[in-house]
Amino acid sequence: MALKSVLIDELRDLYSAENQLVKALPNLAKGSKNPKLKSIFTDHLAETKGQVERLKKVFAELGEKPTGQHCNGMEGVIEEGKDALEKDEEGSSFEAGLIGAALRTEHYEIAGYEASISMATALGMPKIVKLLNSTLKEEVSAAKKITAAGAPIMKLSAKEPEAPKQPKTGKEKYSAKKSKEDESHAAPELGTSTTVS
Ligand SMILES: [Fe+2]
């Protein structure tokens, strides 16, 4: 059945994504100096460990093994989170960067679970839908908590003075070059010319 194998691929991707987050969330928790955010990241780490176990149950239901696919998307999202942790912003502006990174991880997962739930629903797999829905609820709630905790941080951050511009690191220079390429590749489709910087 074609859809079943697409579902299994999607779930293996999620299994890899959750495992990568088990490793990455402690860094966000350690990096954040805001007690509220710190506790959200720590609580979500415990939830994420449970989500790994829940996915194992889903695979047991399917009679398949959970490994077999590395989630490149989550690897990229986590990599961007590392950039936020390495930024030499201070105070609330640093925390604001972490919030952006954390929300990306949650919404990436939400997309994966929503797609998997649609597939499992279409395939008539109510047990699996129930398990996946429990995790989806946790992801949505984690994203809401991050956004809510973020609101006062953003307000404080908006009041902080702009830091003097630092010379770009090698990684930042490469990223800036790639972003120019992204823009110029899209330009013919958009019917625009590239910006000048
Ligand atoms: Fe998760």
Asked if residues 197 and 179 have their Cβ atoms less than 8 Å apart, the reply is no
CB-based burial of residue 69 (10 Å sphere; 0-12 exposed, 13-18 middle, 19+ buried)? middle
CA distance linking residue 46 with residue 189, whole number of Å: 45
C-alpha distances in Å from residue 190, one per residue of 109, 183, 193, 197: 30, 10, 9, 19
> For residue 153, how far is its CA from the centre of ligand 1 (angstroms)?
24
> For residue 94, how far is its CA from the centre of ligand 1 (angstroms)?
23
| pTM above threshold 0.85 | yes
Which three-class secondary structure string do you get for 158-196? Answer: HHCCCCCCCCCCHHHHHHHHHHHHHHHHHHHHHCCCCCC
> For residue 92, how far is its CA from the centre of ligand 1 (angstroms)?
25
> For residue 16, how far is its CA from the centre of ligand 1 (angstroms)?
10
For all residues of the chain together, what is the average pLDDT? 94
Question: Tell me, what's the pLDDT at 184?
Answer: 94
Q: How many other β-carbons are positioned within 10 Å of the β-carbon of residue 114?
A: 15
Asked if residues 4 and 61 have their Cβ atoms less than 8 Å apart, the reply is no
Asked if residues 46 and 103 have their Cβ atoms less than 8 Å apart, the reply is no
> For residue 165, how far is its CA from the centre of ligand 1 (angstroms)?
36
Asked if residues 132 and 140 have their Cβ atoms less than 8 Å apart, the reply is no
pLDDT (tens digit per residue) in 145-185: 999 999 999 999 999 888 778 888 888 899 999 999 999 99
Is the four-CA dihedral 33, 99, 173, 170 of positive or negative sign?
A: positive
> For residue 126, how far is its CA from the centre of ligand 1 (angstroms)?
20
pLDDT bin (cut points 50, 70, 90) of residue 127 is very high
User: Which CATH architecture group holds 2-158?
Assistant: Up-down Bundle (1.20)
> For residue 8, how far is its CA from the centre of ligand 1 (angstroms)?
17
> For residue 189, how far is its CA from the centre of ligand 1 (angstroms)?
36
Q: Kindly state the DSSP code that residue 63 receives in the 8-state scheme.
A: T
Whether 197 has a pLDDT exceeding 60, the answer reads: no
> For residue 69, how far is its CA from the centre of ligand 1 (angstroms)?
17
Q: Kindly state the DSSP code that residue 38 receives in the 8-state scheme.
A: H
- Which residues, 6+ apart, have CB-to-CB distance to 144 below 8 Å? none
Whether 189 has a pLDDT exceeding 60, the answer reads: yes
